[in-house]
Each structure stands twice: as structure tokens, then as C-alpha cells.
């Protein structure tokens, strides 16, 4: 390999493109001072990788670009190419010729590098020439300064030259890299070690915490599964019991109400009976007194009559003729009395008969009246039951809101466990009577909106619905609701308009605190009496408002109409109104029912009285029948007695003046007596029946009161049980909500319906105990552990890798050290030997040697020079400049002979030598010329004489170097 050509363009004084051809052997470059000879050396050094501007004799790298002269402008870039012949493939590059180019731009200070015109990095160039003997720090470029400094250098500063000769630069560079790597690896290892130790401290406790947290979560999961099923089952059981209790309460309540009514009626009846008995007693008493008087009268009158009858009987029994007249007269008197009595009794018989018939007629009237009343009572009872069941249905609809959305119902059910739920709009508003349809229309779907105290309450409720998949609902936070209004001028138009009743909000009752809701929902809705007026009004108001009618038709904003028939069934306000109406009707029917019951009772009493009277009449009638028969017999006998006596004695029959007053009075008194007896008897019988009836009533009342106590007791017990059940259900629902954030419906979908309640309840308790025994738990530990342990594992792996890398690097460094020591020692010894030889040749005798300054550390040792020219003492600092140069050149040649280099550039290295030594130097050069290509910058003729090729550097144009091939003579002229 040798340098074939150097091409320069714009480099320092080489303004124009210059091509310098070289041949193997020694090439001399001559010329006057400052004409640019050393710039060629700089150019070669630059291409071979020099990075220091100072080494290139400049301040900045851009100083290498031609900076202009008197006649020439500065260049914008410098470019130098070295062309090597590489036929022997000395350079490790697959080409017979290798071109290395470096280029630098002034404008951005950017450099470009090429190998065989292919762009590359500076590092690729230094790698290519490493250990070839080329390169900026090698033996290939030796300047006058290098030579001058060599002897004065510190031993350590001389070492690189020897290292280069020993070919350890590659290893040194690699070692440097390995050491740097080792340092980085060690640093990393230490850092990783620190972290691993730190992590180790954390991993243990975190693992324990994580395991505890996992156990806790497993228990919690188990607990949730079991407890949700238990809670669902318990709630279902309690709900079933609650339903039974409700039914029992309803039944007891109804039974008690019926019983209460019956007791009241029976008590009234009993009281009435007492009153009647009291009056009967008074009547009987009075009648009894009168009876006494009448009986005394009868007795008196009968006594008088008996006297008369006795004298008549005496006269009648006489058989004297003279008394015959008196006898006939007596018998006639007896006959007349008998007839009168008979007629009297017959008349009474007829009277009693008539009375009996009248009573019978009254009885059947009474029976009819009773029948009518019973029928009416039955009807009323049926009505009341019907209305009560309608009411139950209606209450159920109103309370359970079965026609409302799922979300609304879910919220109402969970109301107690949520905060700030005030109820639905339909709960909080009541339509005034007659405005139910209008209000329902005005509100539309908003009736189902749920009013909350605050916006946060609404948000919590929405979160609850979302979590439980429990439907959707609209919420109206009181604090957020803005009023809607009708403009004042529009309100004035309304006031004047036909059929306008005013703002809908005026026809609603509500609690003052929900005013914002009412003003928001109804503040701009107008009520009109009918659709025609509503339509006219809408036109007047430019169709800006919603106008509803009493019938529930609507003129919408914009003027469209909605209307037709509307079911009241789902109208919340109509439902409320219907309930009120139903309750009133039930009360009215109940009142009528009780009144009819009392009337029936009266009729029954009257019936009883009539029947008692009728019985008595019947008895009197029967008695009278006997009396009439008796009287008839008596009359027949009297008639027969009279006719027997009067027969054949018609002359003796006188027309006696008859005085019937006594008999009439007696008959009258007797009639009265019988009437009184009959009446007393009737009243007594009646009283007796009243006594029996009252007794029966009291017995019934006793039973009913005892029933009532039973009902009350059952009611109280059931109500207490109901409250207890409700509270328990509420508590369980709250537990579901608070602990598991679940609605009952959602929990039901997750629950196991076939659990054994007792066993599961025990399991819940046990799990709770287990959880409690875990103490404080950090659930974050699971994620923390995962993170820390993953990091720990990764870093542990890292540590192993780093450790392996460290070991590998240490081994590599050790190997390199061995190689370097070996090579360095061998090369050093060879150079040392050669040094003495060259020295003796150049000095013509004497002695020279090289020594390690630190033989124990071959890798770092400096190199000492021991030189003793013939006849002189060996003190380096006391040699002349020329001697120093010769010593240095001896060493240089020794090195070159041990380690031949392909190219060596010597820049005025022999300047300090005398002519004889220059001669020796030049000759010596020739001894190497077959192995090493020399380029020698020189002023010395002796050197020039031994050059194979000579170039002369000139500056024909000022400041611009031009190189021409010259003959020795021309060169000598140029030098001189
Ligand atoms: N960037 C540059 N642009 C133009 N000319 C430059 C630039 N850098 C250096 N020079 C010129 O190059 C010359 C120096 O060249 P160089 O040091 O190679 O000369 P020389 O021939 O080696 O001299 P000597 O024999 O004294 O060592 C100077 O004239 C300097 O002005």
C-alpha cells in the first residue's frame, strides 16, 4: 500500500484544485518559507481524522478553508482526498484503490466524509486506518516539533509512540471502551443493587398485606353472595308475612267496623227497649189503677143489679095469681136485660172482630215495610262492599304508582335510603275540583318527575338507578328550578280574552315550599274554558304559549292542537278526586245503612207490638164468642120464661117504663174492664217479649263486645307486628343498599332462591367474624405488590444480566491486558535493541537504551531514554539541538525498523542537523524506502539529493500554493 495521490481544493493556501501524485520511495517537497509545504502535511493529517484545530495550526476548524488573498476570494468549502494504492489489501477494504475524502463547509461548519465516494462517518475512517500505522497520532506524520520535543518529553508522553509500534492501540481503544462500559455497568449494577435491596424490604411486608387483602376480598365476595341471598330470602319471607298481616288487619278492621256498627245498633235497640219497657210499666200501672176503679164500679153496679135481679127472681118465682102481673113484669124485665146484654156483647164481638182484622192488616203492612227495609239494607251493604273494594284498588294505584315508569318506582321504593327525595309531582300537587283533566294535560309526562331538595340528591339518585339497572327518571332539584312566566303584556291580553280562566298554576293546591316547581312547570301554561276560546287566545298570543282546556284539549306552542277523549284511569289527579268522591259516597251509604237498620228495628218492634195486640184481640175475641153464646142462652131462657108466663095473660103485660141506665152503665164498665184487662195483658205480654228480647240483645252485645276486644287485640298485635316487619324490611333494604349498593329487584336477580336460611345465616355470621379477625386491611396492597414484585423481578433479572456483563467485561479487559503486555514487551525489547544499533550508526558509536520507568506496570509505564554519544556522558538535557534530533531520529528509525509503516511524512525533521548528519539521515531513509513511503518536507539539499521524486511549492499567484514537479537542481535553487 502507498499513498498514490493527494487532491486538494480550497484547503488552506490550495485555493485551486491541486493534485499531487506520489510514488513509492522518498518524495521531497521543497520551496521557500510560507509557500504552503506544511499545508500538505496538514491536509493529510486532516483527512486521517484530526479533530483538533490547534493541531492543524488554526483556531477553528473552518480556518482550514481557503480564506482568500489579495487577488482571490475566500472559498466556501475545503475538500481533500487521499488516494491509496491498496492492491496488497493492506487496508481492510475490498478495493485495489481506496479514496478517503473529507469536506468542510464554511456556511454551517458541517463536515462530510467519504470512502471511495460513499458517504461515511469519521469513525469509519479511523477504524479503517487503525493499527495500519497511518493516522494522526502515529508515526506517519512527524514534524520538526515532534523531533525537537522527543528528548525533552516526559517518559509517559513518549509511551504512545511505542504503543502504536506495538499495535496495541486497537486493544487500548477497546479496553477504554470496555472500561467505560464496565464503569457504566458497575454504576448501573450499584444503582440496581440499591433499588433491589430497597424493593426486597418492601416485597415481604407487601406480600403479607396482599395475601391478607386477597383473603379479605375472597371473604367479602363470599359474604356478598351469601348475604345477598339471605337478605333477599328474609325480605321475601317478611314481605309474605307482612301481606298476611295486612290482610288480617284489613279483615279485623272491617269486622270491627261492622261489629262497631252492629253494637251501636244493638245498644240503641236495647236502650229503646228499656225506654219502651219503662213506658209499658207506666202504662200498665195507669191501666191497672183504672182497672181497679172500673172493677169497683162493676162490682157496685153488679150489686145494684143483683138487688134488682133478686127482687125480679122472687117475683118471678111467685105462683100467686095476684102477683102474676108482677111476675110477668119481672120476667119481661129479665128478658129485656138479657136482650140488652146480648146485643151489647154482640156489638163488642163485632168491634173486637173489626179491630182484630185491622190489626191483621197492620201486621201485614208492617211485614211488608220490614221486607222493603231489609232489601234496602241488603242493597246498601252490597254497595258499601263494592265501593270499599273500588277504594282499595284506587289506593293501591295511587300509592304503588303501578302505571309509572320503572325508574320512578325504583326511586320511590328506595326513598328512605336515598336523601332529599320529596316525591313525585303528582304527589305534591292537587288539582282544584273540576280542573283535574286540565292539570293532567298541562303537566303531561312531568307528573312522574321526582322532586329533590338539591342537585346532588338528584345526581345520587341517578347514580343509584344506573348502578342497579333500575330504569330512568327525571329529577327536579328544588334549588335549581327556574320560574317560567307569561309576559306582562300577554297577561293583559289574557285578562280581556273570552274564555280565558288564567294561569294553570292558579288552579292547583300545593305546599308553599315547592313553588319553584309549580312556577317552572305551570308558570307559562294558560287555562281556557273550551277549545274554541283556547284557539282564539293562542292566535292573540302569537301561538307562543301552551293553552289547555278544562276537558284536557291543548293548543300547543306554535298553534298545533291535541285533543280527543282521555282516560281518567291513569290521571293521577282524577284518581285523587275519585278517591275523595268514593270516600264520601261510602260514608253516605254507611249512614243510610245505619238509618235503615234503625228503621228496620223500629218496624220490627212495631211488628212485635202488633202481633202482641193481635194475640190479645184474638183471645178477647174467643172469650167474647163464649160470652155471646152464654148471653144468647140466657136470652133464650128469659124469653122462654117470659113467654110461658105471659101466654094467655096478655092483658097483664104492661108497657113498663124501662130504665136501662144501670145495665148500660154496667155493660159499659164491663166493656172498659175487659178492654183494660186486655190492654194490660197485651202490654205485659209485650213487656215480657221485650224482656226476652233485651236479654237476647244483651247476650248478643256481650258476645259482640267480646268480639270487639278480640278484634282490637288482634289489630293492635298485628299493627305492632306490621310496624316491626316494615322496620325490619326497611333495615334489610338499607343494608342491601348501604353495603352492596343494590336495590331489592337487582339483588333478586343475583340471589340463590334455594338457600337454607339457617345455615346461610350462620355462614354470614362466621364470615363476618373471619373478616373482623383480619383486622385492618389494605386492599391497595394487591396492586402495590404486583407493581413492586414485577419491578423486583425485572431488576433482579437486570442485576444478573449486569453481573454477567460485568464478568464478561472484566475477562475481556484481562485478556486485552495480557495481549497488550505481551505485545508491548516484545515490541519494546525489539525497538530497544534496534535503538542502540541505529544510534550507534547515526552517532558513529556510543551507546543508547530505553528503560521502563515502572517495569511493574507495563500497561502504564513511561519510557526513559538513556543515550551516550561517543565520548560523552549520558545526560539527555545537556545535549545540543542536533544531538537531540539525532537521538529522536534514532528512536524513530528503530521503531520503523521494528514496526514498518507504509507511509511516513517527515516535515523538516532534519532541520537541526549539520550537513554530515543530514547526509547520514537521508541515506538511512533510503534503507527503509522499499518498505515505507516517505514524504519529506525539507530545505536541506542533502535530503533532496536522496529523494526519488521532488516537488517544488510556489506561490506564483500571491497566497495560492502551486506544486510542480522539479529536478534536483531546480529544487536546490528553490531551497537556496
Ligand atoms: N486558510 C488559509 N487560507 C489561505 N492561506 C493560508 C491559510 N492557512 C494558511 N495559509 C497560508 O499558508 C502559508 C503557510 O504555509 P506553510 O506553513 O505550509 O509554509 P511552509 O512552506 O511550510 O513554510 P516554512 O518553510 O516556513 O515552514 C502562509 O502563507 C499562510 O498565509
CA separation for the pair 866, 858 (Å, rounded): 18
Report how many helices (DSSP H) and strands (DSSP E) the chain contains, helices first.
Answer: 22, 24
More confident residue, 874 or 424: 424
Q: How far apart are CA 199 and CA 187, in angstroms?
A: 18
Interval 681-691 mean pLDDT: 88
List the residue whose alpha carbon is closest to atom 5 of ligand 1.
13
C-alpha distance from residue 557 to each of 136, 216, 538, 560 (Å): 95, 61, 8, 7
Measured in Å, residue 891 CA sits from the centre of ligand 1 at 29
Distance from chain centroid for Cα 182: 55
How high is the pLDDT of residue 633?
94
Quote the pLDDT of residue 656: 61
Question: Residue 851: helix, strand or coil by DSSP?
Answer: strand
CB contact at 8 A, 940 and 976:
no
Task: Kindly list the protein residues whose Cβ atom lies closer than 6 A to any atom of ligand 1.
Answer: 12-13, 31, 33-39, 63, 66-67, 953, 959
d(C-alpha 551, C-alpha 583), whole Å: 24
**Closest residue (by CA) to atom 1 of ligand 1?**
12
Q: Which residue's CA is minimally distant from atom 27 of ligand 1?
A: 33
Query: What is the mean pLDDT of the segment spanning 676-698?
Result: 89
Pairing label, strands 26-30, 949-957: parallel
Structural element, H or E, at residue 646: helix 572-646
Q: Are strands 141-143 and 903-907 parallel, antiparallel or unpaired?
A: parallel
The grid coordinates of residue 553 equal: 284539549
**Probe ligand 1: pick from 15, 29, 35, 45, max atoms within 8 Å of CB?**
35
Tell me which residue of 457, 450, 455 sits closest to 406, measured CA to CA: 450
Helix (H) / strand (E) element for 146: namely helix 144-152
Burial class (CB in 10 A: 0-12, 13-18, 19+), 558: exposed
Q: How confident is the model at residue 116 (pLDDT cuts 50, 70, 90)?
A: very high
Tens of pLDDT along 571-589?
888 888 889 999 999 999 9
Distance 32 CA to ligand 1 centre (A): 11
Residue 46 Cα to ligand 1 midpoint, Å, equals 15
pLDDT at 548: 95
Tell me which residue has its CA closest to atom 2 in ligand 1.
12
Whether the pLDDT of residue 496 is over 80: the answer is yes
Please state, in angstroms and rounded to a whole number, the distance separating the CA atoms of residues 867 and 847.
Answer: 6
The residue whose CA has the least distance to atom 11 of ligand 1 is 13
Closest C-alpha residue for ligand 1 atom 26: 33
- The closest residue, in CA terms, to atom 7 on ligand 1 is 12
**Is 569 a residue whose pLDDT tops 80?**
no
pLDDT of residue 366: 96
Query: pLDDT class for 138, splitting at 50, 70, 90?
Result: low
- Mean local confidence (pLDDT), 361-386: 95
Q: What is the pLDDT of residue 875?
A: 63
Given this model, what pLDDT does residue 137 score?
63
Residue 914: phi and psi, rounded to 5, are -80, 175
Output the pLDDT for position 655: 65
CATH architecture type of domain 404-569: 2-Layer Sandwich (3.30)
- Taking residues 409-435, report their average pLDDT: 89
Q: Please give the share of the chain, as a percent, with pLDDT higher than 70.
A: 98
Helix (H) / strand (E) element for 268: namely helix 169-317
Residue range 22-40, pLDDT digits in tens: 999 999 999 988 999 999 9
Secondary structure element (H or E) that encloses residue 20, with its range: strand 18-21
CA dihedral (401, 407, 408, 410) in degrees, to 10, reads 80
Separation between Cα atoms, residue 408 and residue 517, nearest integer Å: 17
Show binding-site residues for ATP.
32-39
Q: Which alpha helices (DSSP H) does 401-431 contain, by range? A: 406-413, 425-428
- 700 Cβ neighbours under 8 A, 6+ residues apart: 266
Distance 37 CA to ligand 1 centre (A): 7
For residue 32, the ligand 1 atom closest to its alpha carbon is: 25
Q: Is 953 exposed, middle or buried (0-12, 13-18, 19+ CB in 10 A)?
A: buried
Helix axes 169-317, 661-740, angle to 10 degrees: 170
**Which ligand 1 atom is nearest residue 41's CA?**
18
Tell how far the Cα of 57 is from the centroid of ligand 1, in angstroms: 10
Measured between its terminal Cα atoms, the distance across the chain in Å is 34
Per-residue pLDDT tens over the stretch 48-66: 989 999 989 999 999 999 9
DSSP 795: H
The pLDDT tens digits for 308-333 are: 888 888 887 777 766 777 888 888 88
Please compute the mean of the pLDDT values over residues 521-550 and round it to a whole number: 94
Q: Is the pLDDT of residue 261 over 90?
A: no
User: Mean pLDDT throughout 618-629?
Assistant: 92
**For ligand 1, mutation pick of 15, 36, 961, 963 (most atoms within 8 Å of CB):** 36
Pairing outcome for strands 525-528 and 500-503: antiparallel
Atom of ligand 1 nearest to the CA of 42: 18
Q: Give the pLDDT band (50/70/90) at residue 398.
A: confident
Which atom, in ligand 1's list, is nearest to the CA of 64? 1
Whose Cα sits closest to atom 20 in ligand 1? Answer: 34
| Residue indicated by cell numbers 256481650 | 702
Helix (H, G, I), strand (E, B) or coil at 71: coil
Across the strands, what pairs with 476? 451
Residues 252-264: what's their mean pLDDT? 86
DSSP 513-566: GGHHHHHHHHTTEEEESSHHHHHHHHHHTTT-SEEEETTS-EE-TTS-EE-S--
Q: Assess whether pLDDT exceeds 90 at residue 372.
A: yes
- 3-state SS class at 585: helix
CB 1 within 8 A of CB 91: yes
On average, the pLDDT of the chain sits at 90
- pLDDT for the residue numbered 468: 82
Per-residue pLDDT for 676 more than 70?
yes
Strand order in the sheet with 475-477: 421-424, 450-452, 475-477
Identify the burial level of 443 via C-beta atoms within 10 angstroms of its C-beta, where 0-12 means exposed, 13-18 middle and 19 or more buried: buried
Ligand 1 atom 28, closest CA: 34
pLDDT band, residue 169 (cuts 50/70/90):
confident
The count of C-alpha atoms lying within 13 angstroms of the C-alpha of 519, restricted to the half-sphere facing its C-beta, is 15
Q: Rounded to whole angstroms, how far apart are CA atoms 504 and 32?
A: 119
Q: What is the pLDDT of residue 150?
A: 85
- Provide the 8-state DSSP code for 14: B
Residue 504's pLDDT is 94
List strand residue ranges (DSSP E) for 470-559, in order.
Answer: 475-477, 500-503, 508-510, 525-528, 546-549, 554-555
CA of 27 to the centre of ligand 1 (A): 20
Q: What is the pLDDT averaged over residues 105-133?
A: 91
Output the pLDDT for position 746. 86
Atom of ligand 1 nearest to the CA of 31: 21
Phi/psi at 187 (5° precision)? -60, -45
Residue-level pLDDT at 361: 96
Closest-CA residue to 678 (of 342, 304, 272, 359): 359
**Size of the chain, expressed as the number of residues it contains:** 976
pLDDT on residue 121: 95
In this structure, which long-range contacts are made by residues 342-347, counting pairs with CB atoms below 8 Å and at least 24 apart in sequence? 342/628, 342/631, 342/632, 342/634, 342/635, 344/667, 344/671, 345/624, 345/627, 345/628, 345/631, 346/628, 346/631
CA dist., res. 238 & res. 735, Å (int): 15
Higher-pLDDT residue of 269 and 366 is: 366
Query: Average pLDDT for residues 385-394, to the nearest whole number?
Result: 89
Q: How confident is the model at residue 130 (pLDDT cuts 50, 70, 90)?
A: confident
Distance CA 158, CA 160 (A): 6
In the CATH scheme, what is the homologous superfamily, with its name and number, of domain 1-140+904-976? P-loop containing nucleotide triphosphate hydrolases (3.40.50.300)
Lowest mean pLDDT among 142-151, 538-547, 566-575: 566-575
Q: pTM of this prediction?
A: 0.51
DSSP code per residue over 197-236:
HHHHHHHHHHHHHHHHHHHHHHHHHHHHHHHHHHHHHHHH
Contact criterion met (CB below 8 Å) for 898 and 164: no
Cell 477494504 locates to: 93
**Mutational test site, ligand 1, from 10, 15, 34, max ligand atoms within 8 Å of CB:** 34
What pLDDT, on the 0 to 100 scale, is given for residue 383?
Answer: 94
Q: How far apart are CA 669 and CA 293, in angstroms?
A: 10
Whether the Cβ atoms of residue 502 and residue 456 lie closer than 8 Å to each other: no
Q: Return the sign of the alpha-carbon dihedral for residues 798, 802, 808, 809.
A: positive
For residue 855, the tally of other CB atoms under 10 A from its CB is: 9
Q: Residue 557 gets which letter from DSSP?
A: T
SS3 state of residue 779: coil
How high is the pLDDT of residue 877? 63
Residue linked to cell 212495631: 606
What is the Rg, in whole angstroms, of the alpha carbon atoms belonging to the chain?
74
Residue 234 · residue 760 · CB < 8 Å: no
Amino acid at each position: 500500500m502507498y499513498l498514490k495521490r493527494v487532491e486538494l481544493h480550497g484547503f488552506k493556501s490550495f485555493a485551486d484544485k491541486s493534485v499531487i501524485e506520489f510514488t513509492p520511495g522518498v518524495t521531497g517537497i521543497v520551496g521557500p518559507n510560507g509557500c504552503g509545504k506544511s499545508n500538505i502535511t496538514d491536509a493529510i493529517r486532516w483527512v486521517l481524522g484530526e479533530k483538533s484545530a490547534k493541531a492543524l495550526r488554526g483556531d477553528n476548524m473552518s480556518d482550514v478553508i481557503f480564506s482568500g488573498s489579495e487577488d482571490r476570494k475566500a472559498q466556501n468549502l475545503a475538500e481533500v482526498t487521499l488516494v491509496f494504492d491498496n492492491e496488497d489489501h493492506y487496508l481492510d477494504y475490498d478495493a485495489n484503490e481506496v479514496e478517503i475524502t473529507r469536506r468542510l463547509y464554511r456556511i454551517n461548519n458541517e463536515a462530510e466524509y467519504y470512502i471511495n465516494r460513499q458517504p461515511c462517518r469519521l469513525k469509519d475512517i479511523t477504524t479503517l486506518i487503525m493499527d495500519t500505522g497511518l493516522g494522526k497520532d502515529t508515526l506517519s506524520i512527524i514534524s520538526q516539533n515532534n523531533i525537537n520535543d522527543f528528548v525533552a518529553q516526559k517518559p509517559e508522553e513518549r509511551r504512545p509512540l511505542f504503543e502504536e509500534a506495538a499495535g496495541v492501540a486497537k486493544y487500548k481503544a477497546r479496553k477504554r471502551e470496555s472500561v467505560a462500559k464496565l464503569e457504566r455497568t458497575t454504576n448501573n449494577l450499584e444503582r440496581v443493587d440499591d433499588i433491589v435491596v430497597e424493593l426486597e424490604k418492601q416485597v415481604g411486608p407487601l406480600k403479607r398485606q396482599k395475601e391478607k387483602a386477597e383473603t379479605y376480598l375472597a371473604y367479602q365476595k363470599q359474604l356478598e353472595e351469601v348475604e345477598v341471598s339471605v337478605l333477599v330470602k328474609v325480605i321475601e319471607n317478611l314481605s309474605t308475612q307482612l301481606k298476611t298481616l295486612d290482610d288480617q288487619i284489613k279483615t279485623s278492621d272491617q269486622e270491627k267496623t261492622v261489629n262497631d256498627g252492629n253494637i251501636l245498633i244493638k245498644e240503641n235497640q236495647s236502650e229503646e227497649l228499656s225506654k219502651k219497657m219503662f213506658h209499658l210499666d207506666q202504662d200498665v200501672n195507669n191501666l191497672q189503677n183504672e182497672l181497679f176503679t172500673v172493677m169497683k164500679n162493676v162490682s157496685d153496679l153488679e150489686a145494684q143489679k143483683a138487688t134488682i135481679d133478686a127482687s125480679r127472681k122472687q117475683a118471678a118465682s111467685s105462683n100467686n095469681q095476684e102477683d102474676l102481673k108482677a111476675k110477668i113484669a119481672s120476667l119481661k124485665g129479665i128478658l129485656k136485660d138479657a136482650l140488652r146484654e146480648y146485643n151489647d156483647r154482640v156489638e163488642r164481638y163485632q168491634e173486637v172482630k173489626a179491630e182484630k182484622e185491622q190489626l191483621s192488616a197492620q201486621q201485614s203492612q208492617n211485614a211488608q215495610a220490614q221486607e222493603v227495609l231489609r232489601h234496602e239494607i241488603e242493597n246498601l251493604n252490597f254497595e258499601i262492599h263494592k265501593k270499599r273494594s273500588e277504594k282499595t284498588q284506587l289506593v293501591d294505584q295511587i300509592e304503588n304508582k303501578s302505571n309509572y315508569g320503572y325508574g320512578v318506582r325504583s326511586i320511590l321504593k328506595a326513598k328512605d335510603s336515598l336523601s332529599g327525595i320529596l316525591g313525585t309531582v303528582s304527589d305534591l300537587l292537587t288539582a282544584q275540583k273540576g280542573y283535574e283533566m286540565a292539570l293532567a294535560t298541562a303537566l303531561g309526562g312531568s307528573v312522574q318527575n321526582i322532586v329533590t331538595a338539591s342537585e346532588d340528591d338528584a345526581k345520587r339518585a341517578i347514580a343509584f338507578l344506573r348502578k342497579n339497572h333500575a330504569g330512568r327518571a327525571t329529577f327536579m332539584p328544588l334549588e335549581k328550578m327556574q320560574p317560567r312566566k307569561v309576559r306582562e303584556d300577554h297577561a293583559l291580553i289574557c285578562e280581556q280574552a273570552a274564555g280565558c280562566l288564567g294561569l294553570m298554576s292558579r288552579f292547583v293546591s300545593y305546599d308553599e315550599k315547592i313553588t319553584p316547581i309549580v312556577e317552572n312547570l305551570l308558570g307559562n301554561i294558560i287555562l281556557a274554558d273550551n277549545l274554541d276560546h283556547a284557539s282564539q287566545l293562542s292566535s292573540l298570543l302569537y301561538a307562543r304559549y301552551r293553552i289547555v282546556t278544562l276537558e284536557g284539549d291543548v293548543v300547543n306552542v306554535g298553534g298545533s292542537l291535541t285533543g280527543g277523549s282521555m282516560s281518567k284511569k291513569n290521571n293521577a289527579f282524577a284518581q285523587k278526586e275519585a278517591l275523595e268522591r268514593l270516600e264520601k259516597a261510602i260514608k253516605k251509604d254507611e249512614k243510610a245503612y245505619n238509618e235503615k237498620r234503625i228503621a228496620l228495628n223500629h218496624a220490627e218492634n212495631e211488628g212485635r207490638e202488633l202481633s202482641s195486640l193481635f194475640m190479645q184481640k184474638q183471645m178477647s175475641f174467643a172469650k167474647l164468642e163464649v160470652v155471646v153464646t152464654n148471653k144468647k142462652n140466657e136470652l133464650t131462657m128469659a124469653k122462654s120464661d117470659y113467654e110461658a108466663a105471659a101466654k094467655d095473660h096478655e092483658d097483664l103485660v104492661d108497657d113498663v117504663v124501662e130504665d136501662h141506665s144501670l145495665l148500660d152503665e154496667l155493660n159499659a164498665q164491663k166493656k172498659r174492664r175487659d178492654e183494660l184487662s186486655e190492654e194490660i195483658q197485651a202490654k205485659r205480654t209485650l213487656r215480657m217479649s221485650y224482656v226476652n228480647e233485651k236479654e237476647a240483645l244483651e247476650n248478643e252485645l256481650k258476645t259482640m263486645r267480646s268480639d270487639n276486644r278480640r278484634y282490637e287485640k288482634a289489630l293492635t298485635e298485628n299493627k305492632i307486628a306490621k310496624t316491626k316487619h316494615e322496620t325490619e324490611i326497611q333495615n334489610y333494604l338499607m343494608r342491601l343498599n348501604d353495603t352492596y349498593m343494590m336495590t331489592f329487584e337487582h339483588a333478586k336477580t343475583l340471589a340463590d332462591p334455594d338457600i337454607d336460611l339457617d345455615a346461610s345465616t350462620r355462614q354470614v355470621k362466621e364470615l363476618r367474624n373471619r373478616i373482623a379477625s383480619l383486622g385492618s386491611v389494605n386492599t391497595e396492597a394487591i396492586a402495590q405488590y404486583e407493581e413492586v414484585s414485577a419491578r423486583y423481578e425485572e431488576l433482579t433479572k437486570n442485576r444478573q444480566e449486569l453481573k454477567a456483563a460485568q464478568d464478561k467485561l472484566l475477562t475481556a479487559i484481562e485478556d486485552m491486558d495480557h495481549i497488550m503486555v505481551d505485545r508491548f514487551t516484545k515490541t519494546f525489547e525489539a525497538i530497544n535493541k534496534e535503538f542502540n544499533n541505529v544510534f550507534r550508526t547515526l552517532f558513529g558509536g556510543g551507546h543508547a537504551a530505553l528503560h521502563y520507568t515502572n517495569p511493574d506496570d507495563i500497561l502504564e509505564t513511561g519510557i526513559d531514554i538513556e543515550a551516550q554519544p561517543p565520548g560523552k556522558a549520558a545526560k539527555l538535557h545537556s545535549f545540543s539541538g542536533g544531538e537531540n534530533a539525532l537521538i529522536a531520529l534514532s528512536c524513530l528509525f528503530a521503531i520503523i525498523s521494528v514496526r514498518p509503516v507504509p507511509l511516513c511524512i517527515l516535515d523538516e525533521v532534519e532541520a537541526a542537523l549539520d550537513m554530515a548528519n543530514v547526509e547520514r539521515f537521508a541515506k538511512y531513509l533510503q534503507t527503509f524506502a522499499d518498505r515505507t513511503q516517505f514524504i519529506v518536507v525539507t530545505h536541506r539539499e542533502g535530503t533532496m539529493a536522496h529523494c526519488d521524486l521532488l516537488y517544488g511549492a510556489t506561490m506564483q499567484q500571491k497566497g495560492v500554493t502551486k506544486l510542480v514537479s522539479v529536478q534536483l537542481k531546480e529544487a536546490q535553487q528553490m531551497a537556496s
